Structure 1
């Protein structure tokens, strides 16, 4: 899959997100969960583009556009939120090129909303900082502020209390994403979490934190989608630096020292899992 066109004045990449570790600590009365996570972002994903227009409207294309609503969509929600907070009545004709699977644990709608905020901030000449956009994004969803920043960071609270991790040292790795094309409900996965607090993230360099961490949603996801066990075993067969499920699934990722190793692992997984989706990228 080709990467998004970056740097164009009328388009913005919605970078794929992975959770290097995801520790669920407790359920909160408001229905959310308190967690600790490490967000990291790849250099490719969906693409949101914009043209001048009256009002706010959205069209969706791309390989994963089927079934998505152009009105009940976080892209439109983000555009309305930014216009309201900024006190403007500007319009925009938005287009979402949906290249990532839906409901797959790699950002998806959250990344699309975040890209929309960055794009319209520039397009409308609002000049909000990324930190301000992340603050504006908070009501749009737990992962949207992190996706606004799209840089390696830790997340606490419901994932919106962010701390940047500069010089994370992840750039040398190639990242393979594989999804068995079984959509999973984030709400269902969180509901199936067993409620046990297995502790927070440990201190150390970013890779040590990730390797010594876990994804507490992986066990309930595997129970709902047994083929994830097969997928994770296929990835481990290829001797990655590490392999794990991202978010609430069903996408799994593996880190490799070289692009050639990632490509070999991709071939291995796609040959063994008919109909699976895969993408190779680099960390931002």
Structure 2
């Protein structure tokens, strides 16, 4: 087999440094303005080309389907439909990003599938074309294809690259053992009852000038008030992080994952140990400049 017919794909998760909801369209979709940042927590896809046209998924994880209901299958199938390619693929999903966590775990897998199969099937699609296909699968997929740090607007697909977190910031991530429905959170969100909104212009300036302390103090996710009322674990995780010297802590996405930003590894490790006494899924990582990596090389 040629090198291009097999690929090991790292698909990185994201956190939100801010989320604002600006309106709701007649079709039910919400207009958002948010800052997203890739982090070095990733799933790995092992993808091998097949000549029989079949898409076959495998995984040791019991938390994800390995059939046409998986977004990875949908991504591969959509790419086949759009391009008319007759090839297939076997995809093994090594799941490391927590499932249903508000960290774009499914979206980043879809992104990695599109990027890798574009190469494996020799389709020659541009990143812009891949993002357009990705958006049909989910609003976070276009961001996951490129990764880094962006201001995302409109439905989440209008992306402006910005400077992200620097290398000396530690990101502590904790996912409590509970399921949050994004749809339910958005349905319960009351736009007329928002006490605090993020100042994204200011947050972008803080990132640009490496004022991470200021950024961390001013991070804001308007959805947190909804999810934290349903799940007290969110506030509990934040309080544990605050007992260490956290720069700032917030819920990511629609939850239930909470992250904290630290400039001290010792303080981050201390908070991680305390969290692990109560919660299983705790990770200490850094930010990442790209979203997808193919065979050790960034997309």
**Is this a same-fold pair by TM over 0.5?**
yes
Shift of 1:9: 5.4
Among 43, 54, 57, the alignment partner of 1:56 is: 54
Shift of 1:148: 1.0
Contact kept, 8 Å, 1:101 with 1:181, in 2: the verdict is no
Relative to the length of structure 1, the TM-score reads 0.89
Alignment partner of 1:40 is 2:44: no
Spell out, residue by residue over 1:221-271, the C-alpha distance to the aligned partner (whole angstroms, 9 max, x if none): 111111111111111111212211000111111111133332221101112
Shift of 1:212: 2.4
Counterpart residue number, 1:219: 225
Shift of 1:182: 0.7
CA 129–261 in structure 1, closer or farther in 2 if over 3 Å, else same: farther
Shift of 1:209: 5.3
Contact kept, 8 Å, 2:131 with 2:145, in 1: the verdict is yes
Relative to the length of structure 2, the TM-score reads 0.85
Q: Which structure 2 residues correspond to residues 123-202 of structure 1 after superposition, within 5 A?
A: 123-166=120-163, 168-196=164-192, 199=197, 201-202=200-201
Gaps (5+ residues) in structure 1?
1-7
In 2: Cα distance, 1:86 partner to 1:184 partner = 35
Shift of 1:98: 1.2
The 10-residue stretch of structure 1 (65-74 or 241-250) with the greater mean CA deviation from structure 2: 65-74
In 1: Cα distance, 2:255 partner to 2:227 partner = 7
Among 76, 90, 95, the alignment partner of 1:79 is: 76
Contact kept, 8 Å, 2:216 with 2:261, in 1: the verdict is no
Q: Which structure 2 residues correspond to residues 108-119 of structure 1 after superposition, within 5 A?
A: 108-119=105-116
CA 216–93 in structure 1, closer or farther in 2 if over 3 Å, else same: same
Give aligned pairs, total.
274
Shift of 1:71: 2.0
Contact kept, 8 Å, 1:75 with 1:113, in 2: the verdict is yes
In 1: Cα distance, 2:263 partner to 2:93 partner = 32
Shift of 1:119: 1.2
CA 60–9 in structure 1, closer or farther in 2 if over 3 Å, else same: closer
Counterpart residue number, 2:242: 236
Counterpart residue number, 2:8: 11
Local SS of the residue matching 1:234: helix
Contact kept, 8 Å, 2:170 with 2:263, in 1: the verdict is yes
CA 237–56 in structure 1, closer or farther in 2 if over 3 Å, else same: farther
Shift of 1:213: 3.7
CA 276–192 in structure 1, closer or farther in 2 if over 3 Å, else same: farther
CA RMSD of aligned residues (A): 2.1
Contact kept, 8 Å, 2:171 with 2:285, in 1: the verdict is yes
